[in-house]
Amino acid sequence: MNIVEKSVAATNVIGIKTFTSSTLETDPQSARIPELWQRLFSESIEEQIPNKVSEGLLYGIYSDYDSEQRGLFSVTAGWQVSTVNAVPEGFVATEIPKGDYLVFIEEGDMPTVIYS
């Protein structure tokens, strides 16, 4: 996995979202993140997103943290879009604010690459 620090302009992403916690993710029976990624591909979510900027560049956004360790947080999986004026029903739009971020880059077959 390649990890780089990158200055990012404000970016809009449309995708699907789940809420989870570190506690839930430690048990395969209650883990929600694998289900989110499975749904992303089994339901052909990419084909339903309008105004995509780039094919194949997938975002996984962890946000909305309740607390540092045990609280809930959200995970959004989706694609960068040029505008969020047409968010399909059941999807969410998320803005990544302008700033400096650590970007985790991995190439490979989906969804297997997500677990590396």
Whether 21 contacts 71, CB under 8 Å = yes
Q: Is residue 64 left, alpha or beta, with left meaning phi > 0 and alpha meaning psi from -120 to 50?
A: left
Domain of residue 105 covers: 2-115
Residue 33 has pLDDT above 80, yes or no: yes
What does the pLDDT look like over 20-31, one tens digit per residue? 998 898 898 999
Residue 57 has a pLDDT of 80
Distance, CA of 94 to CA of 92 (rounded, Å): 6
The CATH number given to whatever domain includes residue 39 is 3.20.80.10
43 to each of 38, 46, 106, how far by Cα in Å? 8, 9, 22
pTM of the model: 0.82
State the chain's maximal CA–CA distance in angstroms: 38
Please report, in angstroms and rounded to a whole number, the separation of the first and last CA atoms in the chain: 8
What does the pLDDT look like over 55-109, one tens digit per residue? 778 899 999 998 766 789 999 999 999 999 999 999 999 999 999 998 887 777 7
Letter for the amino acid at 113? V
17 CB neighbour count, 10 Å cutoff: 18
Domain count for the chain: 1
Distance, CA of 62 to CA of 14 (rounded, Å): 14
